Amino acid sequence: MKRTSLEITLRDDLIQRMDQMIDGTGIKDYSEAVEILISKSLNAKDVKTAFILVGGKGTRMRPLTYEIPKSLIPIQGRPLLEHLIDLLRKYEIRDLIFSIGHMGDRIKEYFGNGSKFGVKIRYVEEKTELGTAGPLLLAKDLLKDNFLMFNGDVLADIDLYDFITFHRENEGVVSVALTPVDDPSGFGVAKLEGNRIFEFIEKPKKGTEPSNLINAGVYICRPEILEYIPEGRAMIETDVFPKLAEEGKLYGFKFERQWFDTGTHDAYERAIHEWKGVD
């Protein structure tokens, strides 16, 4: 790719921060560091919206979820979903869509239009449970560009700039964030060739896992994903991903920063003790 030489002047504190990036192998010099930072900043503008699934009943977290939506369960004194907003705000993603259902009024009451959290929140409501893909069709008029999608019970300190850059470079319909775990047998495990996902193996027997990389419940989607979702209840994991994988349009982004699934009591307790917040 053709490059043009430029002379620029930067603040000393920015130079010091770039010094920490340069390791002589991955990033060799200031020129490459500046190019990467500019590329991340420009690519980040490709994604401005996040769609968050918060409509589930949280049955595995009962009895807590008899009286409170799972997304409002406290983690270190604040609702789980508020930590996710911290992440999105850090990367200047402030247009949020919440898919609500079970006790959705409680979520609306707490978060409102998002202004007190520095974001804009809109809501779509599941009258009946629509799974992990069906709710996207409720918001089809709001999803005209690339968007992030989150399972509402996930805590992740993922570099969204890197994720967005990855998605743009690979040009898939969906990019799935993948995180390594010691025991992947209880999750959806990715079978990969390079960055392309060929299949997710759900809860494989120990010793048969194709990798230790699991679906982290964080995605970047092109609007074309809506064409792959059947009407009614639909699951992104079983109704959408296999079609995309077969067509070579499903990619996996590997990250190793903090990640917690809070969907069980054991996982929730671990998150309370170990979650360090968004850096």
Residues designated catalytic: 203
Q: What is the distance of C-alpha 265 from the center of its chain? A: 22
Pairwise CA distance, residues 54 & 43, whole Å: 27
Per the CB < 8 A criterion, the answer to whether 146 and 224 are in contact is: no
> How many DSSP H helices and E strands does the chain contain?
8, 13
| DSSP assigned state of 139 | T
CA angle 235, 160, 96 (to 5 degrees): 60
Instruction: Note whether 94 and 45 are within 8 A (CB).
Output: no
What gap in Å lies between CA 36 and CA 230, rounded to an integer? Answer: 39
What is the DSSP code string of 193-246?
ETTEEEEEEESPPTT--S-SEEEEEEEEE-GGGGGGPPSSS--IIIIIHHHHHH
